[in-house]
Amino acid sequence: MTTLSVLLTTYYRQTLLTMSVLLSAPLCQAALPNMIEQSLIAANLKDNDISMVILPVSDDTQHNHLPAAILPKNPANTLPTDVTTVSMTENKQTEQTLTQPVTLEDGSVIQPIFKESAPLLVQDNELSMVDANPQPAIQPLTTPLYHLANQPRTPASTMKLIPTFVALDTLGQDFVWQTQILHTGVIINGTLYGDMIIKGSGDPKLTHERLTQLLYQAKKAGISHIDGNIILDTSIFQQVGKDPAAFDNEPLRPYNASPDGLLINFNSIQITTLPDNHGNSQLSYTPMLADYQLPATLPQRHASCGSIEYSLAPKWQTNQLSFNKNMPSNCGEHQFYIAYPDVTDYARRVVKQKWLDLGNSLNGQVITHNQLTATHSANVHSTKPKNSPPIVALKAWQYPLPLASYPSLPLSAQIYDINHYSNNVMTEQLTLSLPVYSANKTTLTSNYPTALTQISDWWQTHLSSPPPMMSNGSGLCRDCTVTAANMAELLQYAYQHPKFATYVDSLGIAGVSGTIAGHAHRRPHSQAIGRAWIKTGTLDNVTSMAGYVKGLSGQDYVVVGIINTNHKLNAAKARPVLDAMLDWTAQH
């Protein structure tokens, strides 16, 4: 082939790849590959139930941007079932064998349909990098595949790919939130004659451990007793509270937690159960709640363990937690999470307990900034202590003074948790943070309209397709829509971004990690195992996957598949269709 022919071929291929995304209509409406068609038939789905894009994103396999493939060293490992669900709270991953229907973190219900053993779920210490050099005998795809690519679909949690990338582009991977402590009054001999103010920054992952470190900064600054109140300032986010039962009438599930300017520990509590020798289970709680009764023991009953957090029928009452059923006897030591129904009351109780646990004391109460305004008809700056010391400078009472600041985990770590484990409330915190912290910010507070407008403006500035319809950032919504072409264009743009490595590292790896780890069980011989970086999504009528695949030829691909139906969808049956999409792409 002449040099001119090579140049023309390269130019034509690159032009084709670019125009395929820039045009609102697909270049061609190819028939679905047979592997995917057969999977649709097996799932009792039709061609028009799925939108799909498979898009080559590089024209030089020697300079691709995806990492090397990651494969298990010991593929002979087995698990007892072919259906595994991953639930995530506070960066702890739990695998559950399904013997009954289980609700995932984004509201979907998986029905168990497989009984036989299936190979492999890799452990973190059983991964190996494999040579990603192209295999000459395998030909890459040269023409994008589009199927109903412009059909608006409900994306479920694949929506998280949008705000996480917008944040990475506008804030940078090293961005941190700073939660501050301020005070009014003066500090004399270890006593604060005034109020201590904790000013929320919108940090998506202010865990109870990190809250302890923040409060310890105040102790180090010389405060051991507060002759006043602790005031929680959540004003950075305005009117973002929600009814945790509104989406699916499951208010105790952590995925329904409400965002907040001072969100602590995902507004959830971890309960650990341990059977004793007297037919009871001992219960412990993390974090503890001040002035609230939590039962220390629970009698056992003869029943299978299952999803004990809900089979126990817990109920948050005014001043105590109660369980309406006893503990199943075969659970052994077990951990589970339930969400507290009131995000502000939860924060007040946790902050007070943590403050006291540090050996400190408090004369007043833990209240919110809004409560202070309503009660005293004044803002936080005019709060006066109960017992004034003999001599003080008047200005010291009037203006809050900075005392301590505690940084969050960097944005790169936050989007890893969001995309790897599909954490809904962290996504909402990140989305709402965009108007406050962007370089061109015009506001000190945020709400959903301003945050979603900023994402829409970013989209129209950087991309050519119409922006998606969003009512929140997490995808836990039924009025949100994107097209497969929308998502493919975003992913192609991200592929060329200087911080693409951070973005792709946040995604689960097919058959290896994250919410796509179960791919290896469902399709144990798939070529996509270790070669696909994917965000998944599931609602009761949605199954979706979007991300990247490294083909055996060395070619990198963007892949998007979104299945929507007008009826409840058995995710365990529908997900293998998208598994087939990953496998088929990886074979090229």
pLDDT of residue 73: 59
Domains defined along the chain, listed by start: 21-173+411-586 (3.40.710.10), 176-409 (3.50.80.20)
Q: SS3 of 308, please?
A: helix
Amino acid at site 270: Q
pLDDT recorded at residue 509: 97
User: Which residues face 87 on adjacent strands?
Assistant: 94
Q: Which pLDDT score, from 0 to 100, does residue 105 have? A: 45
DSSP letter at 206? B
> 247-266: per-residue pLDDT in tens?
888 888 888 899 999 999 99
Amino acid at 305: C
**Contact at 8 Å (CB) between 123 and 115?**
no
Measure the CA–CA gap between 272 and 36, rounded to whole angstroms.
43
Q: By the 8 A CB rule, do 583 and 523 touch?
A: yes
**Residue 386 pLDDT:** 54
197-248 pLDDT, tens digit per residue, is 999 999 999 999 999 999 999 999 999 999 999 999 999 999 998 888 888 8
The tally of CA atoms less than 13 A away on the side-chain side of residue 392 is: 19
Residue 545 near residue 153, CB atoms below 8 Å: no
Dihedral sign of CA atoms 304, 305, 311, 316 in order: positive
Q: What is the C-alpha separation between 421 and 106, in angstroms, rounded?
A: 10
Dihedral (Cα; 178, 381, 290, 246), 10-degree rounding? -70
Report pLDDT for 371.
61
Question: What b/e sequence results for 80-89 when a residue is b if at least 16 CB atoms lie within 10 Å of its CB, and e otherwise?
Answer: ebbbbbbbbb
Nearest to 18 by CA among 46, 51, 59: 59
What was the pLDDT predicted at 264?
Answer: 97
Length of the chain: 588
Model pLDDT, residue 122? 33
pLDDT at position 309 is 62
Strands of 297-372, DSSP E: 297-301, 314-316, 321-323, 327-328, 334-339, 361-362, 366-368
Residue 297 exposure: Cα atoms within 13 Å on the Cβ side = 8
Q: Which helix (H) or strand (E) holds 225?
A: strand 225-226
Tell me which residues of the chain have a pLDDT lower than 70. 1-30, 59-62, 72-136, 306-310, 370-398, 442
- Whether residue 44 contacts residue 573, with contact meaning beta carbons closer than 8 Å, is answered with yes
* CB contact set of 174 (below 8 Å; sequence gap of 6+): 410, 411, 412
Q: Which amino acid is at 533?
A: W
pTM to 2 decimals?
Answer: 0.83
> Residue 275, preceding bond cis, omega within 30 degrees?
no
Residue 467 pLDDT:
96
- Sign of the alpha-carbon dihedral angle for 455, 456, 458, 463: positive
As beta bridge partners, residue 275 has: 281
pLDDT (0 to 100) of residue 251? 84
pLDDT at 550: 96
What is the chain's Cα-based Rg?
26
Instruction: Name the pairing type of β-strands 327-328 and 297-301.
Output: parallel
Residue 11: CA count within 13 A, CB half-sphere:
6
Instruction: Dig out the tokens for 586 from the structure.
Output: 């990886």
Buried b (16+ CB within 10 A) or exposed e, 348-384: bbbbbbbbeeeebebebebbbbebbeeeeeeebeebe
